[in-house]
Structure 1
Amino acid sequence: MSVNSSDYDVIVIGSGIGGLVTATQLAAKGAKVLVLESYIIPGGSAGYFEREGYRFDVGASMIFGFGSKGTTNLLTKALAAVDMSLNTIADPVQIHYHLPNNLQLKVHYNYEKFLQELIVLFPHEAKGIPAFYDECWSIFNCLNKIELLSLEEPRYIARVFFQNPFACLGLAKYLPQNVGDIARRHLKDPVLLRFIDLECYCWSVMPASGTPAINAGMVFSDRHYGGVRYPQGGVGQIAQKLVAGLTKFGGEIQYKARVSKIVLEGKQAVGVKLTNGKEYFARRIVSNATRWDTFNKLLPSEAMPTKEVKWQHRYQKSPSFLSLHLGVSAEVLPPNAECHHVLLESWEQMEQPTGTIFVSIPTLLDPSLAPEGYHIIHTFTPSWIADWQKLTPQQYEAQKESAAANIINRLETIFPGLAQGLDFQEVGTPRTHRRFLNRVDGTYGAIPSRQLRGLLGMPFNRTAISGLYCVGDSTFPGQGLNAVAFSGISCSHRIAVDLGIAH
């Protein structure tokens, strides 16, 4: 099949948020777009599932990007491009930290309130604390002044630099830096530096020394600017709305359509083949699969570009998660409980499996997700797939039950009576994530295999294979819903320019 007789302008493999944002923005510009999704609903790790009257989020429910001002509210902008919007509920506290030695801290939407609470705990760092977080604000302010499009498009770079030279120079300064570089310039207390590690680990699965400063500037500041906002009806509504916008603008999506390979014509990607043998062809192919799935599974081994080989040496797969989706009696939760919690009992265990426990209680914001008188508690902790392999079905189920009991026991320290208040329980492992999200080892993105210089090592959307682009959490700027939305907006812009429908 010649590329000149393509069925579509663009085919997107996978309907994660990065893939859907890419597809919708291109459809809005008039491109003929097809999205192929292996599962029965869209969203990937931003999807949902329903059990016994509960609607559970597959992944995290701490959502950035729904602000109403500036340029970093990328989910708001992505939906608006296809005439869609979503009601969201503001969360006044990003995280309630429960830390070693009975240290407790809330990250309030109000920036000054958060700083003062942290300074009370570390009074000897009264100057360093605002200095550190203010420097993160300086990064965010640079980002929030410029239109965020593809950094691979020279005319865009020139235009943005001409319009905002100081913002661009500010960002260029921080591109090679990690959060640890900035933190150590301002802070000395070893426990406080451990806390900064945990602040990063919550969303990058890396301590400060491995977390790009640009990403931290976005997260550490936008939580006090656009704020953390929960989509009414659950996180899965984001993907549902994007699909509605895609079809409204003439795009298509097919479910139960698992891609088995990317079709090459010479050294150019021209189409895809499904597991049922059906083939589709397009002028451009976008993979929302991980880069490992894209280059190690969907392409022949001899097609692996040298650049990808080098990238896979610099980066490794992040861990997956052990997830507990719980329905609990409302009586379990203390008065004025916050939606999001992080529990850590030992600083040395932060990066170990089950060391850090994350908790989301989205029904505190949207009670419609659970039966009356009950709440959802979604608790999860990093977990490697190697710990769940080579087990008999009986051993697998026993290990799931043991792991769940251990986590519930630990959560009893902040939610006494949790075990007795259980109404529903479902356990997901890295194997679950691999099966339903179609991601190698159930990974949630790329992390550096050694300390790198900020974001400079992250690949952009174009690949060394002509006509093939990647989008999602293993491309610039990395993990997190707003980050993959950025990746999608960047990818759609680069492709639109390449197709001649934008500049």
Structure 2
Amino acid sequence: MSNTDVVIIGSGVGGLCCGALLARYGYGVTVCESHSLPGGAAHSFERNGFKFDSGPSLYSGLSYSPSANPLRQVLDAIGEDLNWVNYNSWGCYLPEGNFDAEVGSKQFEEVLLKLRGEEAVKQWRQLLKAIAPLSYAVMTVPTASLRSDLGAILTVGKFAPALLPYLGNAWQLTGAFDQVIKGIVKDTFIYNWLNLLCFLLSGLPMEQTSAAEVAFMFADWYRPQVALDYPLGGSGAIIDALVRGLGKYGGKLQLSAHVSEIIVENRRAVGVKLKNGTIIKAKTAVISNASTWDTLDLIPPTALPPSYRHQRASTPACDSFMHLHLGINAAGLSSDLGCHYVVLKDWQITAPQNLVAISIPSVLDPALAPPGKHVIHVYTPATEPYQLWANLERSSTTYQKLKQERSEVMWQALEKIIPDIRARCEVTLIGTPLTHARFLRRYRGSYGPSLKAGKESFPGPYTPVSGLLCCGDSTFPGIGIPAVAASGMIAANSLAPVTKHLALLRDIGY
């Protein structure tokens, strides 16, 4: 048995952000990770000298401070950073044609003018004008100020005067983004483009994606002199920075430490039990970075009201992924190869086998691969039905055959960029929803909850069990890195005394 102030279950970005901030606030923190590597869906792994990102690969707002990106705010708070390389576009293979999409509003206007004409440009400018007050509202209140108790009156309230000019529009942030564009966007390509961006942001179509998420994205991507970021060392470098920050303030990370149970005594979470029998007692709180479904499995049946358990267990889940991780011979490839591409068959964006995302990060960071080689990550984002795989044995010939069949769409998409890709491969790894579930501890291999903006709400950090909080993609809208970083920050802030929270805001420039 060991003792600490706070036990955190899972070392995904949300759990590490929460743990590092709590350690900075002065709490004793132990983070328990079931995998042998930290990072959850953002961890990196190596094969034969190739270093792969397991998950996220598109970053922005991280290479400068102050920034509205919650992860950047966490890094500033714990005094950690890493080296970034910048770029400004990704390749698009869409039904209307192929082009490079650059961040920045003027650049996209050039694409619209070429593909759709002056009327489309006019609508785009009207859209930017309508979104501007929402973007300003989102950017005015830093995520670092948020907490889920009455202390928010002081931490968020300090930004109220600056927010006043935008309150007339701010109500739209609570709904779905499709309501923002009504009466403005009539051009079908702009509509479809926005729908694609929403899906890539949240795993949901536009009519279900939070307007606040999209307003944040527009504020970040469609401003002057904007650039996208990639961390040298891959996504694992971000995890390394968070782990350093955790350790700097005395926090501990335990790997291969699988939590089998949350210990509840007298209706209060008081610690966790590991699979190997070890008990870690928590004086202040237990915080779960596991998904809502997996967290429920850890809580004793009698500790939760049946209605709450049923409600959370019934949370709909986004679909899963197919993955290709490839290490290739890069000899003779074009020097203008891009880092990112999206390949879309048609505008039924959420249809299985329709949308493919491609990342070639060694274009930006050659150290990710041996000399003369590239690493490539290809995936179908949140469109692979788990039910196709649910009852298969991983060792079966049926499973192996289905892997080959369902990965073919990714090979074909990649062949549009590198026609002889199959002959170049030196490392080939095919991941399925079962892989996603096994290595990332993802319920049904899911991208996360499928909660419709304006109709269904995320629960935030608190649970009916005293002393048990949650963070991660099950608690805060938006599934990508900014959202899970925000969730970890909010959970940490909600435990911290308001005086320490206000001091942290001053320390990072707010």
TM-score scaled to structure 2, two decimals?
0.90
- CA distance in 2 between partners of 1:333 and 1:292 (Å): 45
- CA distance in 2 between partners of 1:68 and 1:156 (Å): 26
- CA distance in 2 between partners of 1:415 and 1:79 (Å): 37
- SS of the counterpart of 2:174? coil
More deviation in 118-127 or 210-219?
118-127
- SS of the counterpart of 1:175? helix
Kindly tell me: are residues 138 and 227 of structure 1, through their superposed partners in 2, closer, same or farther at Cα, counting changes over 3 Å?
A: farther
1:111 Cα deviation from its structure 2 partner: 2.6
- SS of the counterpart of 1:446? coil
1:502 Cα deviation from its structure 2 partner: 4.1
- SS of the counterpart of 1:201? helix
Q: 2:361 maps to which residue?
A: 362
Residues 119-155 of structure 1 deviation map (CA, whole Å, 9 limit, x = unaligned) = 3322232221122234334322222222323242333
1:143–1:167 CA contact under 8 A, matched in 2: no
Kindly tell me: are residues 276 and 471 of structure 1, through their superposed partners in 2, closer, same or farther at Cα, counting changes over 3 Å?
A: same
Q: 1:106 maps to which residue?
A: 100
Q: Say what the alpha-carbon RMSD is for the aligned residues.
A: 2.2
Kindly tell me: are residues 358 and 264 of structure 1, through their superposed partners in 2, closer, same or farther at Cα, counting changes over 3 Å?
A: same
- CA distance in 2 between partners of 1:333 and 1:207 (Å): 35
- CA distance in 2 between partners of 1:17 and 1:28 (Å): 16
2:56–2:481 CA contact under 8 A, matched in 1: no
1:64–1:481 CA contact under 8 A, matched in 2: no
Q: How does 1:343-492 map onto structure 2 within 5 Å? A: 343-348=343-348, 350-381=349-380, 382-392=383-393, 393-448=396-451, 451-453=452-454, 457-492=457-492
Does residue 1:247 correspond to 2:247, yes or no? Answer: yes
- CA distance in 2 between partners of 1:168 and 1:251 (Å): 40
Kindly tell me: are residues 136 and 97 of structure 1, through their superposed partners in 2, closer, same or farther at Cα, counting changes over 3 Å?
A: farther
Gaps of 5+ in 2: 503-510
Q: 1:138 maps to which residue?
A: 133
More deviation in 351-360 or 406-415?
406-415
2:293–2:312 CA contact under 8 A, matched in 1: no
| Aligned amino acid, residue 412 of structure 1 | E
More deviation in 462-471 or 171-180?
171-180
Gaps of 5+ in 1: none
Does residue 1:45 correspond to 2:46, yes or no? Answer: no
2:85–2:231 CA contact under 8 A, matched in 1: yes
Q: 1:27 maps to which residue?
A: 23
Residues 345-377 of structure 1 deviation map (CA, whole Å, 9 limit, x = unaligned) = 1223x2122211011110111011011111111
- SS of the counterpart of 2:484? helix
Q: Percent identity?
A: 34
Kindly tell me: are residues 440 and 361 of structure 1, through their superposed partners in 2, closer, same or farther at Cα, counting changes over 3 Å?
A: same
Kindly tell me: are residues 167 and 485 of structure 1, through their superposed partners in 2, closer, same or farther at Cα, counting changes over 3 Å?
A: farther
1:97 Cα deviation from its structure 2 partner: 1.7
More deviation in 16-25 or 103-112?
103-112
- CA distance in 1 between partners of 2:462 and 2:338 (Å): 41
- CA distance in 2 between partners of 1:164 and 1:308 (Å): 40
- CA distance in 2 between partners of 1:142 and 1:347 (Å): 31
| Aligned amino acid, residue 114 of structure 1 | F
- CA distance in 2 between partners of 1:263 and 1:7 (Å): 13
Residues 212-268 of structure 1 deviation map (CA, whole Å, 9 limit, x = unaligned) = 000011123313456421111111111111111111111111111000111111221
Kindly tell me: are residues 347 and 67 of structure 1, through their superposed partners in 2, closer, same or farther at Cα, counting changes over 3 Å?
A: same
Q: 2:114 maps to which residue?
A: 120
Q: 1:215 maps to which residue?
A: 213
Residues 396-454 of structure 1 deviation map (CA, whole Å, 9 limit, x = unaligned) = 12221233334212332332222222222101111111111112111121112xx4417
Q: 1:36 maps to which residue?
A: 32
Q: 1:154 maps to which residue?
A: 150
Select which of 59, 65, 68 maps to 2:55.
59
1:13 Cα deviation from its structure 2 partner: 0.4
1:323–1:379 CA contact under 8 A, matched in 2: yes
- CA distance in 2 between partners of 1:452 and 1:238 (Å): 29
Q: 1:201 maps to which residue?
A: 199
- CA distance in 2 between partners of 1:378 and 1:129 (Å): 32
- SS of the counterpart of 1:12? strand
- SS of the counterpart of 1:89? strand
Kindly tell me: are residues 161 and 79 of structure 1, through their superposed partners in 2, closer, same or farther at Cα, counting changes over 3 Å?
A: closer
More deviation in 139-148 or 464-473?
139-148
1:113 Cα deviation from its structure 2 partner: 1.1
2:140–2:159 CA contact under 8 A, matched in 1: no
